[in-house]
Structure 1
Protein backbone atom coordinates (compact mmCIF):
# COMPACT_ATOMS: atom_id res chain seq x y z
CA UNK A 1 0.00 0.00 0.00
CA UNK A 2 2.90 2.36 0.73
CA UNK A 3 4.17 2.29 -2.84
CA UNK A 4 0.64 2.82 -4.14
CA UNK A 5 -0.07 6.04 -2.24
CA UNK A 6 3.42 7.42 -2.91
CA UNK A 7 2.93 6.83 -6.65
CA UNK A 8 -0.49 8.52 -6.55
CA UNK A 9 0.91 11.46 -4.56
CA UNK A 10 3.75 12.02 -7.03
CA UNK A 11 1.30 11.84 -9.94
CA UNK A 12 -1.04 14.36 -8.27
CA UNK A 13 1.80 16.84 -7.73
CA UNK A 14 2.84 16.30 -11.34
CA UNK A 15 -0.65 17.35 -12.44
CA UNK A 16 -0.81 20.62 -10.51
CA UNK A 17 2.74 21.70 -11.36
CA UNK A 18 2.15 23.21 -14.77
CA UNK A 19 4.27 25.37 -17.04
CA UNK A 20 3.65 28.48 -14.95
CA UNK A 21 4.75 26.96 -11.68
CA UNK A 22 7.72 25.10 -13.11
CA UNK A 23 9.00 28.24 -14.87
CA UNK A 24 8.50 30.38 -11.76
CA UNK A 25 6.32 32.97 -13.50
CA UNK A 26 3.21 32.14 -11.47
CA UNK A 27 5.14 32.42 -8.20
CA UNK A 28 6.51 35.80 -9.30
CA UNK A 29 3.20 37.29 -10.40
CA UNK A 30 0.81 35.76 -7.89
CA UNK A 31 2.96 35.78 -4.75
CA UNK A 32 6.44 37.32 -4.90
CA UNK A 33 5.03 40.58 -6.25
CA UNK A 34 3.54 41.20 -2.78
CA UNK A 35 6.95 40.98 -1.09
CA UNK A 36 7.51 39.08 2.16
CA UNK A 37 3.80 38.47 2.80
CA UNK A 38 3.75 36.58 -0.50
CA UNK A 39 5.63 33.77 1.28
CA UNK A 40 2.58 33.31 3.52
CA UNK A 41 0.49 33.11 0.36
CA UNK A 42 2.67 30.30 -0.99
CA UNK A 43 2.35 28.40 2.31
CA UNK A 44 -1.45 28.84 2.29
CA UNK A 45 -1.56 27.64 -1.32
CA UNK A 46 0.34 24.52 -0.26
CA UNK A 47 -2.11 23.88 2.59
CA UNK A 48 -5.12 24.27 0.27
CA UNK A 49 -3.60 21.85 -2.23
CA UNK A 50 -3.00 19.27 0.50
CA UNK A 51 -6.43 19.60 2.15
CA UNK A 52 -8.55 19.65 -1.00
CA UNK A 53 -6.26 17.19 -2.76
CA UNK A 54 -7.03 14.72 0.02
CA UNK A 55 -10.77 15.40 -0.36
CA UNK A 56 -10.73 14.93 -4.15
CA UNK A 57 -8.69 11.72 -4.05
CA UNK A 58 -10.87 10.32 -1.27
CA UNK A 59 -14.07 11.06 -3.21
CA UNK A 60 -12.58 9.37 -6.27
CA UNK A 61 -11.68 6.29 -4.24
CA UNK A 62 -15.07 6.18 -2.49
CA UNK A 63 -17.02 6.23 -5.76
CA UNK A 64 -14.35 4.25 -7.68
CA UNK A 65 -14.70 6.83 -10.44
CA UNK A 66 -13.36 6.72 -13.97
CA UNK A 67 -14.28 10.37 -14.67
CA UNK A 68 -15.16 13.54 -12.78
CA UNK A 69 -18.77 13.24 -13.95
CA UNK A 70 -19.23 10.03 -11.95
CA UNK A 71 -18.41 11.89 -8.72
CA UNK A 72 -20.17 15.19 -9.38
CA UNK A 73 -23.35 13.40 -10.46
CA UNK A 74 -23.45 11.86 -6.98
CA UNK A 75 -22.70 14.96 -4.90
CA UNK A 76 -24.26 17.85 -6.88
CA UNK A 77 -27.51 18.87 -8.58
CA UNK A 78 -27.73 17.85 -12.27
CA UNK A 79 -27.69 21.48 -13.43
CA UNK A 80 -24.66 22.28 -11.24
CA UNK A 81 -23.02 19.09 -12.52
CA UNK A 82 -23.43 20.22 -16.15
CA UNK A 83 -21.99 23.66 -15.34
CA UNK A 84 -19.00 22.07 -13.59
CA UNK A 85 -18.54 19.59 -16.42
CA UNK A 86 -18.49 22.37 -19.04
CA UNK A 87 -16.13 24.49 -16.90
CA UNK A 88 -13.65 21.65 -16.37
CA UNK A 89 -13.61 20.51 -20.00
CA UNK A 90 -13.27 24.03 -21.43
CA UNK A 91 -10.73 24.97 -18.72
CA UNK A 92 -8.58 21.92 -19.46
CA UNK A 93 -8.83 22.60 -23.20
CA UNK A 94 -7.64 26.20 -22.73
CA UNK A 95 -4.89 25.17 -20.30
CA UNK A 96 -3.70 22.66 -22.87
CA UNK A 97 -3.15 25.47 -25.37
CA UNK A 98 -1.33 27.51 -22.72
CA UNK A 99 1.00 24.61 -21.93
CA UNK A 100 1.75 23.96 -25.61
CA UNK A 101 2.45 27.66 -26.20
CA UNK A 102 4.70 27.70 -23.12
CA UNK A 103 6.63 24.72 -24.43
CA UNK A 104 7.16 26.49 -27.75
CA UNK A 105 8.43 29.65 -26.03
CA UNK A 106 10.69 27.64 -23.73
CA UNK A 107 12.33 25.72 -26.57
CA UNK A 108 12.80 28.96 -28.50
CA UNK A 109 14.35 30.73 -25.51
CA UNK A 110 16.69 27.90 -24.52
CA UNK A 111 17.75 26.47 -27.88
CA UNK A 112 16.80 29.08 -30.47
CA UNK A 113 14.43 26.76 -32.33
CA UNK A 114 11.21 28.19 -33.82
CA UNK A 115 8.32 28.38 -31.35
CA UNK A 116 6.19 26.14 -33.56
CA UNK A 117 8.81 23.37 -33.30
CA UNK A 118 8.63 23.30 -29.48
CA UNK A 119 4.83 23.42 -29.60
CA UNK A 120 4.81 20.53 -32.08
CA UNK A 121 7.15 18.42 -29.93
CA UNK A 122 4.96 19.06 -26.86
CA UNK A 123 1.79 18.20 -28.80
CA UNK A 124 3.31 14.94 -30.06
CA UNK A 125 4.33 13.99 -26.52
CA UNK A 126 0.79 14.74 -25.26
CA UNK A 127 -0.72 12.52 -27.97
CA UNK A 128 1.79 9.74 -27.26
CA UNK A 129 1.09 9.78 -23.52
CA UNK A 130 -2.67 9.88 -24.14
CA UNK A 131 -2.47 6.49 -25.87
CA UNK A 132 -0.82 4.85 -22.84
CA UNK A 133 -2.86 2.86 -20.35
CA UNK A 134 -3.75 4.56 -17.07
CA UNK A 135 -1.04 2.90 -14.97
CA UNK A 136 1.66 4.05 -17.37
CA UNK A 137 0.24 7.60 -17.44
CA UNK A 138 0.47 7.71 -13.63
CA UNK A 139 4.11 6.60 -13.84
CA UNK A 140 4.90 9.23 -16.48
CA UNK A 141 3.34 11.95 -14.32
CA UNK A 142 5.12 10.65 -11.22
CA UNK A 143 8.55 10.62 -12.87
CA UNK A 144 8.70 14.41 -13.18
CA UNK A 145 7.91 15.19 -9.53
CA UNK A 146 11.16 13.79 -8.00
CA UNK A 147 13.11 15.55 -10.77
CA UNK A 148 11.41 18.87 -9.94
CA UNK A 149 12.08 18.39 -6.21
CA UNK A 150 15.75 17.59 -6.86
CA UNK A 151 16.17 20.65 -9.10
CA UNK A 152 14.50 22.90 -6.51
CA UNK A 153 16.87 21.62 -3.80
CA UNK A 154 19.93 22.13 -6.02
CA UNK A 155 18.89 25.65 -7.09
CA UNK A 156 18.07 26.61 -3.49
CA UNK A 157 21.44 25.33 -2.27
CA UNK A 158 23.25 27.19 -5.06
CA UNK A 159 21.30 30.36 -4.21
CA UNK A 160 21.90 30.45 -0.46
CA UNK A 161 25.03 28.46 0.47
CA UNK A 162 27.94 30.82 1.04
CA UNK A 163 25.96 33.92 0.03
CA UNK A 164 24.26 36.77 1.89
CA UNK A 165 21.33 38.90 0.81
CA UNK A 166 19.69 42.13 1.91
CA UNK A 167 16.13 40.87 2.31
CA UNK A 168 14.73 44.35 2.90
CA UNK A 169 16.09 45.41 -0.47
CA UNK A 170 14.82 42.23 -2.09
CA UNK A 171 11.38 42.90 -0.59
CA UNK A 172 11.39 46.35 -2.20
CA UNK A 173 12.50 44.98 -5.57
CA UNK A 174 9.89 42.20 -5.43
CA UNK A 175 7.10 44.74 -5.02
CA UNK A 176 8.06 46.35 -8.35
CA UNK A 177 6.72 43.23 -10.13
CA UNK A 178 3.21 43.74 -11.46
CA UNK A 179 0.89 41.38 -9.53
CA UNK A 180 -1.70 39.23 -11.28
CA UNK A 181 -4.40 40.50 -8.85
CA UNK A 182 -4.44 43.36 -6.37
CA UNK A 183 -4.73 41.42 -3.07
CA UNK A 184 -2.55 38.58 -1.76
CA UNK A 185 -5.45 36.60 -0.28
CA UNK A 186 -7.54 36.95 -3.44
CA UNK A 187 -4.41 35.91 -5.31
CA UNK A 188 -4.17 32.71 -3.25
CA UNK A 189 -7.82 31.79 -3.87
CA UNK A 190 -7.56 32.74 -7.54
CA UNK A 191 -4.45 30.65 -8.10
CA UNK A 192 -5.73 27.69 -6.10
CA UNK A 193 -8.88 27.74 -8.24
CA UNK A 194 -6.65 27.38 -11.28
CA UNK A 195 -4.86 24.43 -9.62
CA UNK A 196 -8.21 22.82 -8.76
CA UNK A 197 -9.64 23.18 -12.27
CA UNK A 198 -6.47 21.60 -13.64
CA UNK A 199 -6.31 18.80 -11.09
CA UNK A 200 -9.83 17.76 -10.07
CA UNK A 201 -10.71 15.59 -13.09
CA UNK A 202 -7.48 13.59 -12.88
CA UNK A 203 -7.61 13.56 -9.07
CA UNK A 204 -10.97 11.76 -9.11
CA UNK A 205 -9.63 9.20 -11.56
CA UNK A 206 -6.42 8.79 -9.54
CA UNK A 207 -8.53 8.22 -6.43
CA UNK A 208 -10.72 5.78 -8.35
CA UNK A 209 -7.64 3.70 -9.14
CA UNK A 210 -7.08 3.18 -5.39
CA UNK A 211 -9.24 0.48 -3.80
CA UNK A 212 -8.52 1.45 -0.18
CA UNK A 213 -9.79 4.87 0.93
CA UNK A 214 -7.06 5.01 3.59
CA UNK A 215 -4.45 4.83 0.83
CA UNK A 216 -6.17 7.63 -1.10
CA UNK A 217 -6.18 9.83 2.02
CA UNK A 218 -2.50 9.22 2.65
Structure 2
Protein backbone atom coordinates (compact mmCIF):
# COMPACT_ATOMS: atom_id res chain seq x y z
CA UNK A 1 0.00 0.00 0.00
CA UNK A 2 1.60 3.26 -1.16
CA UNK A 3 1.39 6.76 0.29
CA UNK A 4 -1.68 7.71 -1.75
CA UNK A 5 -3.59 4.64 -0.55
CA UNK A 6 -2.78 5.47 3.07
CA UNK A 7 -3.90 9.09 2.61
CA UNK A 8 -7.22 8.01 1.09
CA UNK A 9 -7.78 5.43 3.86
CA UNK A 10 -7.15 7.99 6.62
CA UNK A 11 -9.25 10.65 4.91
CA UNK A 12 -12.11 8.17 4.45
CA UNK A 13 -12.02 7.25 8.13
CA UNK A 14 -11.78 10.86 9.33
CA UNK A 15 -14.82 11.91 7.27
CA UNK A 16 -17.02 9.10 8.58
CA UNK A 17 -15.84 9.28 12.20
CA UNK A 18 -17.48 12.41 13.57
CA UNK A 19 -18.99 13.57 16.81
CA UNK A 20 -21.87 11.09 16.56
CA UNK A 21 -19.57 8.08 16.34
CA UNK A 22 -17.23 9.26 19.09
CA UNK A 23 -20.16 9.88 21.45
CA UNK A 24 -21.21 6.23 21.12
CA UNK A 25 -24.86 7.17 20.51
CA UNK A 26 -24.73 6.11 16.85
CA UNK A 27 -23.31 2.69 17.61
CA UNK A 28 -25.75 2.26 20.51
CA UNK A 29 -28.82 2.76 18.32
CA UNK A 30 -27.56 1.02 15.17
CA UNK A 31 -25.84 -2.01 16.75
CA UNK A 32 -25.66 -2.38 20.54
CA UNK A 33 -29.43 -2.17 21.02
CA UNK A 34 -29.83 -5.44 19.09
CA UNK A 35 -27.77 -7.36 21.65
CA UNK A 36 -25.15 -9.96 20.70
CA UNK A 37 -26.32 -10.13 17.09
CA UNK A 38 -25.35 -6.47 16.76
CA UNK A 39 -21.72 -7.62 16.63
CA UNK A 40 -22.51 -9.41 13.37
CA UNK A 41 -24.09 -6.17 12.19
CA UNK A 42 -20.81 -4.30 12.68
CA UNK A 43 -19.07 -6.87 10.45
CA UNK A 44 -21.70 -6.38 7.75
CA UNK A 45 -21.24 -2.60 7.88
CA UNK A 46 -17.45 -2.95 7.81
CA UNK A 47 -17.55 -5.05 4.64
CA UNK A 48 -19.94 -2.57 3.02
CA UNK A 49 -17.64 0.31 3.95
CA UNK A 50 -14.74 -1.51 2.28
CA UNK A 51 -16.66 -2.35 -0.92
CA UNK A 52 -18.28 1.08 -1.32
CA UNK A 53 -15.08 2.94 -0.46
CA UNK A 54 -13.21 0.89 -3.07
CA UNK A 55 -15.79 1.59 -5.78
CA UNK A 56 -16.18 5.33 -5.11
CA UNK A 57 -12.43 5.97 -4.89
CA UNK A 58 -11.64 3.91 -8.00
CA UNK A 59 -14.43 5.47 -10.07
CA UNK A 60 -13.38 8.99 -9.05
CA UNK A 61 -9.74 8.23 -9.84
CA UNK A 62 -10.59 6.93 -13.32
CA UNK A 63 -12.69 10.02 -14.00
CA UNK A 64 -10.16 12.36 -12.35
CA UNK A 65 -13.25 13.93 -10.78
CA UNK A 66 -12.98 17.47 -9.41
CA UNK A 67 -16.33 17.27 -7.63
CA UNK A 68 -18.71 14.64 -6.30
CA UNK A 69 -21.33 16.07 -8.68
CA UNK A 70 -19.41 14.61 -11.64
CA UNK A 71 -19.60 11.14 -10.08
CA UNK A 72 -23.31 11.57 -9.32
CA UNK A 73 -23.94 12.45 -12.97
CA UNK A 74 -22.24 9.23 -14.07
CA UNK A 75 -24.19 7.15 -11.54
CA UNK A 76 -27.64 8.72 -11.98
CA UNK A 77 -27.55 10.93 -15.06
CA UNK A 78 -27.51 14.74 -15.09
CA UNK A 79 -31.07 15.44 -13.94
CA UNK A 80 -31.45 12.73 -11.31
CA UNK A 81 -27.89 13.40 -10.14
CA UNK A 82 -28.82 17.04 -9.46
CA UNK A 83 -31.83 15.93 -7.40
CA UNK A 84 -29.72 13.48 -5.39
CA UNK A 85 -27.13 16.22 -4.77
CA UNK A 86 -29.80 18.60 -3.44
CA UNK A 87 -31.29 15.91 -1.18
CA UNK A 88 -27.83 15.06 0.18
CA UNK A 89 -27.18 18.75 0.89
CA UNK A 90 -30.28 19.04 3.06
CA UNK A 91 -29.47 15.87 4.97
CA UNK A 92 -25.92 17.08 5.59
CA UNK A 93 -27.60 20.10 7.15
CA UNK A 94 -29.52 17.65 9.34
CA UNK A 95 -26.23 16.12 10.53
CA UNK A 96 -25.07 19.63 11.47
CA UNK A 97 -28.25 20.09 13.53
CA UNK A 98 -27.54 16.81 15.32
CA UNK A 99 -24.06 18.10 16.20
CA UNK A 100 -25.54 21.23 17.82
CA UNK A 101 -27.79 18.99 19.91
CA UNK A 102 -24.80 16.81 20.79
CA UNK A 103 -22.90 19.76 22.23
CA UNK A 104 -25.92 20.56 24.40
CA UNK A 105 -25.99 16.99 25.68
CA UNK A 106 -22.30 17.13 26.64
CA UNK A 107 -22.76 20.25 28.76
CA UNK A 108 -25.87 18.78 30.37
CA UNK A 109 -24.31 15.39 31.16
CA UNK A 110 -20.81 16.51 32.14
CA UNK A 111 -21.34 19.95 33.67
CA UNK A 112 -25.01 19.95 34.67
CA UNK A 113 -25.82 22.96 32.50
CA UNK A 114 -28.97 23.38 30.38
CA UNK A 115 -28.61 21.76 26.91
CA UNK A 116 -29.45 25.13 25.36
CA UNK A 117 -26.21 26.56 26.78
CA UNK A 118 -24.06 24.10 24.85
CA UNK A 119 -26.18 24.53 21.73
CA UNK A 120 -25.86 28.33 21.79
CA UNK A 121 -22.11 28.13 22.40
CA UNK A 122 -21.58 25.75 19.48
CA UNK A 123 -23.87 27.87 17.26
CA UNK A 124 -21.77 30.97 18.00
CA UNK A 125 -18.51 29.12 17.29
CA UNK A 126 -19.78 27.69 14.00
CA UNK A 127 -21.14 31.04 12.77
CA UNK A 128 -17.90 32.81 13.71
CA UNK A 129 -15.85 30.21 11.86
CA UNK A 130 -17.99 30.30 8.71
CA UNK A 131 -18.14 34.11 8.64
CA UNK A 132 -14.54 34.85 9.58
CA UNK A 133 -13.01 31.90 7.71
CA UNK A 134 -10.81 30.90 10.62
CA UNK A 135 -9.06 28.05 8.81
CA UNK A 136 -6.32 27.75 11.42
CA UNK A 137 -8.90 26.86 14.05
CA UNK A 138 -10.30 24.08 11.87
CA UNK A 139 -6.80 22.72 11.21
CA UNK A 140 -6.08 22.80 14.93
CA UNK A 141 -9.29 20.97 15.77
CA UNK A 142 -8.55 18.38 13.07
CA UNK A 143 -5.45 17.45 15.03
CA UNK A 144 -7.77 16.22 17.80
CA UNK A 145 -8.89 13.25 15.66
CA UNK A 146 -5.99 10.85 16.47
CA UNK A 147 -6.14 11.84 20.15
CA UNK A 148 -9.89 11.30 20.29
CA UNK A 149 -9.67 7.93 18.56
CA UNK A 150 -6.96 6.82 20.97
CA UNK A 151 -9.10 7.88 23.93
CA UNK A 152 -12.21 6.10 22.62
CA UNK A 153 -10.24 2.91 22.00
CA UNK A 154 -8.55 2.99 25.41
CA UNK A 155 -11.84 3.66 27.22
CA UNK A 156 -13.74 0.96 25.36
CA UNK A 157 -10.96 -1.62 25.69
CA UNK A 158 -10.80 -0.96 29.43
CA UNK A 159 -14.58 -1.25 29.64
CA UNK A 160 -14.57 -4.58 27.78
CA UNK A 161 -12.34 -6.16 30.42
CA UNK A 162 -14.15 -4.59 33.38
CA UNK A 163 -17.74 -5.67 32.69
CA UNK A 164 -19.64 -6.95 35.74
CA UNK A 165 -22.64 -8.87 34.42
CA UNK A 166 -23.20 -12.21 32.59
CA UNK A 167 -23.42 -11.99 28.80
CA UNK A 168 -27.00 -13.31 28.89
CA UNK A 169 -28.04 -10.47 31.19
CA UNK A 170 -26.30 -7.87 29.03
CA UNK A 171 -27.97 -9.26 25.92
CA UNK A 172 -31.41 -9.05 27.57
CA UNK A 173 -30.82 -5.49 28.83
CA UNK A 174 -29.58 -4.36 25.41
CA UNK A 175 -32.64 -5.76 23.63
CA UNK A 176 -35.28 -4.62 26.11
CA UNK A 177 -34.16 -1.19 27.26
CA UNK A 178 -32.67 0.52 24.21
CA UNK A 179 -34.26 2.14 21.19
CA UNK A 180 -32.92 1.03 17.81
CA UNK A 181 -33.24 2.60 14.39
CA UNK A 182 -35.02 -0.48 13.06
CA UNK A 183 -36.66 -3.65 14.34
CA UNK A 184 -34.15 -5.74 12.36
CA UNK A 185 -30.38 -5.82 12.91
CA UNK A 186 -29.64 -6.38 9.20
CA UNK A 187 -31.55 -3.21 8.26
CA UNK A 188 -29.74 -1.35 11.05
CA UNK A 189 -26.34 -2.44 9.70
CA UNK A 190 -27.28 -1.47 6.14
CA UNK A 191 -28.65 1.90 7.27
CA UNK A 192 -25.47 2.67 9.21
CA UNK A 193 -23.26 1.99 6.20
CA UNK A 194 -25.56 3.84 3.79
CA UNK A 195 -25.97 7.01 5.85
CA UNK A 196 -22.23 7.25 6.49
CA UNK A 197 -21.50 6.71 2.80
CA UNK A 198 -23.97 9.50 2.00
CA UNK A 199 -22.09 11.80 4.41
CA UNK A 200 -18.61 10.75 3.29
CA UNK A 201 -19.33 10.48 -0.44
CA UNK A 202 -18.55 14.13 -1.42
CA UNK A 203 -15.13 14.14 0.27
CA UNK A 204 -14.18 10.60 -0.82
CA UNK A 205 -15.07 11.39 -4.44
CA UNK A 206 -12.84 14.47 -4.47
CA UNK A 207 -9.92 12.71 -2.76
CA UNK A 208 -10.20 9.77 -5.14
CA UNK A 209 -10.17 12.17 -8.09
CA UNK A 210 -6.82 13.58 -6.97
CA UNK A 211 -5.22 10.14 -7.35
CA UNK A 212 -4.04 9.14 -10.83
CA UNK A 213 -3.72 5.45 -9.92
CA UNK A 214 -7.17 3.77 -9.74
CA UNK A 215 -5.75 0.66 -8.06
CA UNK A 216 -4.09 2.71 -5.33
CA UNK A 217 -7.33 4.67 -4.82
CA UNK A 218 -9.35 1.45 -4.61
CA UNK A 219 -6.89 -0.02 -2.10
CA UNK A 220 -7.19 3.08 0.06
CA UNK A 221 -10.98 2.74 0.02
CA UNK A 222 -10.76 -0.92 1.05
CA UNK A 223 -8.39 -0.35 3.97
CA UNK A 224 -10.27 2.74 5.11
CA UNK A 225 -13.51 0.74 5.13
CA UNK A 226 -11.97 -2.17 7.02
CA UNK A 227 -10.46 0.25 9.53
CA UNK A 228 -13.89 1.78 10.11
CA UNK A 229 -15.37 -1.67 10.59
CA UNK A 230 -12.75 -2.50 13.22
CA UNK A 231 -13.37 0.72 15.15
CA UNK A 232 -17.13 0.17 15.13
CA UNK A 233 -16.67 -3.43 16.30
CA UNK A 234 -14.46 -2.44 19.26
CA UNK A 235 -16.76 0.40 20.34
CA UNK A 236 -19.85 -1.79 20.03
CA UNK A 237 -18.33 -4.53 22.21
CA UNK A 238 -17.30 -1.93 24.80
CA UNK A 239 -20.80 -0.48 24.95
CA UNK A 240 -22.41 -3.92 25.05
CA UNK A 241 -20.17 -5.01 27.94
CA UNK A 242 -21.47 -2.10 30.01
CA UNK A 243 -24.98 -1.69 28.61
CA UNK A 244 -26.56 -2.25 32.03
CA UNK A 245 -24.93 1.02 33.19
CA UNK A 246 -25.71 3.13 30.15
CA UNK A 247 -29.50 3.34 30.28
CA UNK A 248 -30.85 6.77 29.33
CA UNK A 249 -27.35 8.19 28.72
CA UNK A 250 -26.97 10.62 25.81
CA UNK A 251 -23.17 10.32 25.59
CA UNK A 252 -22.22 6.66 26.28
CA UNK A 253 -18.45 7.04 25.81
CA UNK A 254 -18.44 10.02 28.17
CA UNK A 255 -20.27 7.89 30.76
CA UNK A 256 -17.67 5.13 30.37
CA UNK A 257 -14.87 7.67 30.85
CA UNK A 258 -16.48 9.02 34.04
CA UNK A 259 -16.45 5.50 35.53
CA UNK A 260 -12.69 5.38 35.09
CA UNK A 261 -11.74 8.89 36.24
CA UNK A 262 -13.41 12.33 36.63
CA UNK A 263 -10.35 13.93 35.04
CA UNK A 264 -10.52 11.55 32.07
CA UNK A 265 -14.21 12.35 31.73
CA UNK A 266 -13.47 16.08 31.59
CA UNK A 267 -10.72 15.61 28.99
CA UNK A 268 -13.03 13.36 26.97
CA UNK A 269 -15.79 15.99 27.05
CA UNK A 270 -13.42 18.63 25.64
CA UNK A 271 -12.25 16.24 22.91
CA UNK A 272 -15.86 15.44 22.01
CA UNK A 273 -16.74 19.13 21.82
CA UNK A 274 -13.82 19.69 19.45
CA UNK A 275 -14.90 16.78 17.26
CA UNK A 276 -18.50 17.97 17.21
CA UNK A 277 -17.32 21.48 16.32
CA UNK A 278 -15.25 20.16 13.43
CA UNK A 279 -18.13 18.05 12.10
CA UNK A 280 -20.68 20.86 12.50
CA UNK A 281 -18.49 23.36 10.62
CA UNK A 282 -17.97 20.86 7.80
CA UNK A 283 -21.68 20.06 7.45
CA UNK A 284 -22.96 23.65 7.59
CA UNK A 285 -20.19 24.81 5.24
CA UNK A 286 -21.12 22.14 2.67
CA UNK A 287 -24.80 23.11 2.94
CA UNK A 288 -24.23 26.87 2.63
CA UNK A 289 -21.71 26.46 -0.20
CA UNK A 290 -24.44 24.70 -2.18
CA UNK A 291 -26.45 27.95 -2.30
CA UNK A 292 -23.86 30.73 -2.07
CA UNK A 293 -20.22 31.31 -2.98
CA UNK A 294 -17.93 30.74 0.04
CA UNK A 295 -16.56 33.89 1.72
CA UNK A 296 -19.13 36.10 -0.02
CA UNK A 297 -21.48 38.35 1.94
CA UNK A 298 -24.41 36.20 0.86
CA UNK A 299 -22.64 33.09 2.10
CA UNK A 300 -22.00 34.59 5.52
CA UNK A 301 -25.59 35.76 5.92
CA UNK A 302 -27.01 32.47 4.67
CA UNK A 303 -24.70 30.53 7.02
CA UNK A 304 -25.69 32.60 10.06
CA UNK A 305 -29.42 32.18 9.38
CA UNK A 306 -29.18 28.44 8.61
CA UNK A 307 -27.14 27.70 11.75
CA UNK A 308 -29.58 29.67 13.95
CA UNK A 309 -32.48 27.71 12.47
CA UNK A 310 -30.44 24.58 13.18
CA UNK A 311 -30.17 25.61 16.83
CA UNK A 312 -33.97 25.74 17.11
CA UNK A 313 -34.27 22.32 15.46
CA UNK A 314 -31.59 20.88 17.75
CA UNK A 315 -33.83 21.34 20.78
CA UNK A 316 -35.41 18.00 19.85
CA UNK A 317 -32.59 16.26 21.74
CA UNK A 318 -29.42 14.47 20.62
CA UNK A 319 -30.46 10.82 20.92
CA UNK A 320 -33.88 11.47 19.33
CA UNK A 321 -32.31 13.33 16.41
CA UNK A 322 -29.72 10.58 15.88
CA UNK A 323 -32.55 8.06 15.76
CA UNK A 324 -34.50 10.19 13.25
CA UNK A 325 -32.13 12.07 10.95
CA UNK A 326 -29.51 9.35 10.48
CA UNK A 327 -31.91 6.54 9.45
CA UNK A 328 -33.64 8.89 6.98
CA UNK A 329 -30.26 9.79 5.51
CA UNK A 330 -29.54 6.05 5.43
CA UNK A 331 -32.54 5.44 3.18
CA UNK A 332 -31.27 8.17 0.85
CA UNK A 333 -27.88 6.47 0.94
CA UNK A 334 -29.50 3.24 -0.28
CA UNK A 335 -29.95 4.94 -3.65
CA UNK A 336 -26.19 5.56 -3.75
CA UNK A 337 -25.42 1.97 -2.79
CA UNK A 338 -27.73 0.56 -5.48
CA UNK A 339 -26.28 2.87 -8.13
CA UNK A 340 -22.71 1.96 -7.17
CA UNK A 341 -23.53 -1.77 -7.12
CA UNK A 342 -25.23 -1.49 -10.55
CA UNK A 343 -22.20 0.34 -11.96
CA UNK A 344 -19.89 -2.35 -10.57
CA UNK A 345 -21.98 -5.20 -12.04
CA UNK A 346 -22.25 -3.43 -15.41
CA UNK A 347 -18.49 -2.84 -15.59
CA UNK A 348 -17.74 -6.45 -14.64
CA UNK A 349 -20.18 -7.72 -17.24
CA UNK A 350 -18.60 -5.47 -19.86
CA UNK A 351 -15.12 -6.67 -18.91
CA UNK A 352 -16.24 -10.31 -19.14
CA UNK A 353 -17.68 -9.77 -22.64
CA UNK A 354 -14.43 -8.15 -23.79
CA UNK A 355 -12.40 -11.08 -22.45
CA UNK A 356 -14.65 -13.58 -24.22
CA UNK A 357 -14.34 -11.64 -27.47
CA UNK A 358 -10.58 -11.60 -27.22
CA UNK A 359 -10.52 -15.37 -26.68
CA UNK A 360 -12.75 -16.00 -29.69
CA UNK A 361 -10.83 -13.60 -31.90
CA UNK A 362 -7.19 -13.05 -30.77
CA UNK A 363 -6.76 -10.32 -33.39
CA UNK A 364 -9.37 -8.10 -31.72
| TM norm structure 1 | 0.84
Equivalent pair of 2:12/2:200 in contact (CA under 8 Å): yes
Aligned to 2:201: 200
Structure 2 unmatched ranges of 5 or more? 220-364
Aligned to 2:191: 190
Aligned to 1:123: 126
Aligned length: 215
Measure the CA separation in 2 of the matches of 1:32 and 1:129.
40
C-alpha displacement at 1:69, in angstroms?
0.9
Aligned to 2:5: 5
**Residue pairs, 1:1-218, within 5 angstroms:** 2-112=2-112, 114-120=117-123, 122-123=125-126, 127=130, 132=135, 143-161=143-161, 165-176=165-176, 177-218=178-219
Measure the CA separation in 2 of the matches of 1:66 and 1:139.
26
Measure the CA separation in 2 of the matches of 1:81 and 1:131.
32
Structure with bigger RCO (C-alpha 8 Å, 6+ apart): 1
C-alpha displacement at 1:153, in angstroms?
2.8
1:5–1:104 CA distance, 2 compared to 1 (3 A)? farther
1:101–1:66 CA distance, 2 compared to 1 (3 A)? farther
Structure 1 unmatched ranges of 5 or more? none
| TM norm structure 2 | 0.52
1:108–1:72 CA distance, 2 compared to 1 (3 A)? same
Deviates more, 1:146-155 or 1:20-29: 146-155
Equivalent pair of 1:88/1:201 in contact (CA under 8 Å): no
C-alpha displacement at 1:111, in angstroms?
3.7
Equivalent pair of 1:107/1:115 in contact (CA under 8 Å): yes
| Misfit runs of 4+, over 6 Å | 128-131, 137-140
Deviates more, 1:117-126 or 1:94-103: 117-126
